[in-house]
Amino acid sequence: MSTSTVGAVHPQSNAPASASVTPEPLDPDTQTWLDDLRSDGMARDAAIARLHALLLRAARFEVGRRRATLPHLRGNELDDIAMEAADDALMSVLRRLDDFRGRSRFTTWVYKFALLEAAVKLRKRSWQGREIPPEPETWNLFADARLGPQAEVELGELLRGVQNAIAVELTPHQRTVLVSLAIDGVPIDVLADRLGSTRGALYKTLHDARRKLRASLTEHGLGLELERRLEES
Amino acid sequence: MERRDPRTLLHGLLGPAAPEVSCDTCFEELDRYVDLELAGEDADAAIPGVRAHLEGCPACREEHESLLVLAAERP
């Protein structure tokens, strides 16, 4: 994945590595991992086997966390998903080994690849065979919100402002992405798959849509109300 | 459809107020961010924009939660 930002934040650490950058001092465990994985023959094979076991542990952890959301899957199917995630993560880690700068522990770095692979596969599996809700012709956020009389007083104006901005300010694509992700609860990886897009591209669309909604609220004098009702909660 | 808390709904629609990094940058930084958190350091100050992104992106947030638990255990 390339590094980029959607807002105005540019972490210093995103600067591309170059020969002039002083490498981070590595902890002994990390150094051992890198030495073994960069060696030849049996030592490397053994290191790859240990790495795969570590990735499988992470993938099984993620499967365990999400087991309740996949009641229709049997244990062996879930373990197959974990194994597939570990295999894919192993490929990613080996491909990107030279990108590792030692800014975290090696184990933390590799875990994230296995967690990502497992999470994406499980999200897609949980939506397998399910249609993404079609876009309605009119928006009614009040139907989605559990509004008591007090909330109606406090938040009704904001909800009306957001509803209006969704209808007026957004492009059809922004509206589809925002509504699918933020109202219908479609996982971003599932939507990316269905739309032939990527998580990064869809999040950028979501981010731009959110900026438009916030700008519209400010334009209609609801910026302070938003700050008071939401940002402080 | 299940009716939701209006504040949660508005948070999901409007996202974080603070500037945030992208999903790709969040993934790049997530291991360092988690190790800083586990070391008790100020991860938010060290890597600005990740916390806001985790507030706005449920998928990255879930992966952060898992990594935080897993990395806290010794392999």
Of A15-29, A128-142, A203-217, B42-56, the one with minimum mean pLDDT is A15-29
Q: Report helix, strand or coil for B57.
A: coil
Token pair recorded at residue A230 = 């939401």
CB-CB neighbors (< 8 A) of A217 in chain B: 14
Considering chain A, what percentage of its residues have pLDDT values greater than 70? 81
Reply yes or no on whether the pLDDT at B40 is more than 70.
yes
Which residue's entry shows tokens 């570590």? A54
List beta partners, residue A145.
B4
Chain A interface includes B32 (CB < 8 A): yes
Half-sphere exposure of residue B30, counting CA atoms within 13 Å on the CB side? 31
What confidence tier does A16 reach under pLDDT thresholds 50, 70, 90?
very low
What chain B residue is nearest to A106 in terms of C-alpha separation? B31
Q: Do A5 and B25 touch (CB under 8 A)?
A: yes
pLDDT above 50 for A13: no
| A141-167: average pLDDT | 77
CB spacing of B21 vs A104 below 8 angstroms: no
Which range among A110-114, A140-144, A175-179 has the greatest average pLDDT? A110-114
Q: What is the mean pLDDT of residues A22-30?
A: 83
SS3 A68: helix
Q: φ and ψ at A152, to 5 degrees?
A: -60, -40
Contacts of B45 (CB under 8 A, 6+ apart): none
Chosen from A5, A65, A99, A162 to mutate, greatest number of chain B CBs within 10 A? A5
Residue A170 near residue A178, CB atoms below 8 Å: yes
Per-residue pLDDT at A121 exceeds 70: yes
Is A212's pLDDT higher than 50?
A: yes
Residue A213 has pLDDT above 90, yes or no: yes
Bridge partners (DSSP) listed for residue B21: A5
| Cβ-proximal residues to A170 (8 Å cutoff; 6+ apart), any chain | A178, A209, A212, A213
Task: With CA atoms as reference, report the closest residue to B29 among A12, A32, A197.
Answer: A12
Whether the predicted pLDDT of A214 surpasses 90: yes
Comparing B2 with A98, which gets the higher pLDDT? A98
- Per CB-CB distance under 8 Å, the chain A contacts of B17 are 214, 227, 231
Which residues on chain B are in Cβ contact (under 8 Å) with A203? 22-23, 57
Q: Which of A126, A118, A107 is nearest to A64 (CA)?
A: A118
Residue A2 pLDDT class (50, 70, 90 cuts): very low
Query: Strand, coil or helix: what is A36?
Result: helix
Decide if B68 touches A, using CB distance below 8 A.
Answer: no
The answer, yes or no, to whether residue A1 has pLDDT greater than 50, is no
How high is the pLDDT of residue A159?
87
∠ CA A37-A42-A44, rounded to 5°: 5
